[in-house]
Amino acid sequence: MVTGGAGFIGRWLCKSLLEKNNDVLCVDNLITGSETNIKEFMKNSRFSFMKHDIVQPLYVDGIDEIYHLASPASPIHYRKYNVETMLANSVGTMNMLQLARENNAKFLFASTSEIYGDPKEHPQKETYFGNVNPIGPRACYDESKRFGEAMTTCFPDVYVRIIRIFNTYGPYMSANDGRVMPNLINQALTDKFMTIYGNGSQTRSFCYVDDLVKGIYVVMDNFHKGPVNLGNLNEITILELAEKIKQLTNSKSKIIFHPLPKDDPTRRKPDITVARSLGWQPEINLNSGLEKTIEYFRQLK
């Protein structure tokens, strides 16, 4: 079962689980996802879709594994759906843990690098407790993910795993979710202004979605007590990213600067020593990941 399976990462996870000959139940209320993302699986007899809000209890049996990804994920989405985000990661996580317990199923919670907030430790290790503003504009997301991690650890009798996903990108990201990748790529492809928030010196480390999906399996299937960071080590400034996208798209766009949103993290890069010890590391470099993502958005035009 994949909650949030009609979203960006969930779609790729469903696809991969089907390719491995699993039966897949995708549960999604489509608040930020789309049926278009899973349209190609609908004819597959191993795939089923249930439109359901996981904040409401769910009773299904025959579940072996729950990948709990359901939550708005982009700053624009979680600000718009702030209460829904808090509930998906708190009550929704509790509901999915109870379902895992009833089914004796394995459970994986998709947490985030956002739980580190604007980090004072760099790169971020799993042992770092973070620097989060509990009442800031990102709080509904950061704090509910922290709560979701705490909730997950309240079920010691269930086989649980926690991953902390760092910025992940690829085809099927929503074109209008406001995240930097779809924004800059679509602006570049249409020769519109490319918007940088702040002076562009803030950094992120971008992981291609195929690498992330492989990491999800590695964490689900191997033992490690505690959360595991999944992300790419290639740290880049947002201005460098914009210039790279401009070059790869051969765009005539002009780069313009807008004010930096409050509490926007200044630096982010994972320490992936734990994931490496489990046998995972990202393989797809930024240029080849960007080329695939640019091609996807080009075809949508």
Active site residues: 141
For ligand NAD, the binding residue among 1, 25, 70, 272 (CB under 6 A) is 70
Total residues contacting ligand UDP by CB under 6 A comes to 14
Residues 225-252: b if buried by 16+ CB within 10 A, e if exposed: eebbbbbbeebbbbbebbbbbbebbebe
Residue 264 binds to ligand UDP (criterion: CB under 6 A): yes
Residue 190 binds to ligand UDP (criterion: CB under 6 A): no
- Burial class of residue 20, CB neighbours in 10 A (0-12, 13-18, 19+): exposed
Query: Residue 33 touches which of ligand NAD, ligand UDP, none (CB < 5 to 8 A by kind)?
Result: ligand NAD
Instruction: Mention every residue, 6+ apart, whose C-beta is less than 8 A from residue 54.
Output: 3, 27, 29, 68, 70, 88, 92, 95, 96
Residue 197 binds to ligand UDP (criterion: CB under 6 A): yes
For ligand UDP, the binding residue among 64, 261, 276, 298 (CB under 6 A) is 261
Instruction: Mention every residue, 6+ apart, whose C-beta is less than 8 A from residue 51.
Output: 28, 29, 30
User: CA-CA distance, 137 to 263, in Å (whole number)?
Assistant: 7
User: CA-CA distance, 81 to 99, in Å (whole number)?
Assistant: 25
For ligand NAD, the binding residue among 41, 66, 75, 92 (CB under 6 A) is 92
Shortest distance (Å) from residue 209 CB to ligand NAD: 8
Instruction: Mention every residue, 6+ apart, whose C-beta is less than 8 A from residue 169.
Output: 179, 181, 206, 207, 208, 209, 289, 293
Query: Residue 31 touches which of ligand UDP, ligand NAD, none (CB < 5 to 8 A by kind)?
Result: ligand NAD
Query: Residue 144 touches which of ligand NAD, ligand UDP, none (CB < 5 to 8 A by kind)?
Result: none
Shortest distance (Å) from residue 46 CB to ligand UDP: 33
Shortest distance (Å) from residue 104 CB to ligand UDP: 35
User: CA-CA distance, 180 to 241, in Å (whole number)?
Assistant: 9
Shortest distance (Å) from residue 247 CB to ligand UDP: 17
Residue 75 binds to ligand UDP (criterion: CB under 6 A): yes
Binding site for ligand UDP (CB under 6 A): 74-75, 167, 179-180, 183, 195-197, 202, 204, 238, 261, 264
